[in-house]
Amino acid sequence: MGFRHSLFGWERSNFTHYQAAYYKYGGSVNTHPDIINFFMQKKEKDFAFWHYRRDGEVTAAYCMADVNIKGLMNTVAAVLPVMQAQKSGHIINTSSIAGRKTFAGLGVYCATKHAVAAFSDVLRMELSSQYNIRVTSLQPGAVESELFEHITDENYRAQMENLKEHMTFLKSEDIADSILYVLRAPDHVDVAELFIMPTEQQW
């Protein structure tokens, strides 16, 4: 498939960083993006702070909101004018099962992923007909990734490690295959949401 340009999400919440990254990696008025895919890419240990702590410390929670919500909006804002001008494009935002359901202890994470799902759906409503831009909210279940290595909540981390012994988590290749499935859909088809689960995941 002849996709001309791709832009992936960075960990910063500053809009100018996204504009700079777009042009740094080849973006210009003559190299228009066909696809953008936003995903979380922050690795500091305290980032995987998934709920409000009882001591009132909210810095890491704010960081998560900055990345998962502001980061997504800034990524879209950096390239959307070009997509609108060319009247084509595909925006793929990575949400989560936590964007469809809620889980005790994951309040901040669930809130941010619900925001991703809602933002994606409204983007689709506003862009698809007028600008021929497709929007997809990718919503994976349990995925084996480096994120688990940065979970600071010991109880939740233990739960996830226990789950690994009872089911096969999705792999990064599975997510990549699902993205290709979305991209290969005919032009008149927008896979607005794709909910991907391990076969053995019951929740």
Catalytic (active-site) positions: 109
Q: Please write down the long-range contacts of 39-44, taking CB distance under 8 Å and 24 or more positions apart.
A: 39/8, 39/9, 39/94, 40/9, 40/11, 40/67, 40/68, 40/71, 40/94, 40/147, 41/8, 41/9, 41/10, 41/11, 41/67, 42/11, 42/67, 43/11, 43/146, 43/150, 44/150
Burial of 194 (0-12, 13-18, 19+ CB in 10 A): middle
Q: Which residues pair with 91 in a beta bridge?
A: 36, 135
Q: Which residues pair with 167 in a beta bridge?
A: none
β 89-94/193-196 pair status:
unpaired
In the block, tokens 């012994």 appear at 165
Q: Which residues pair with 35 in a beta bridge?
A: 6, 90
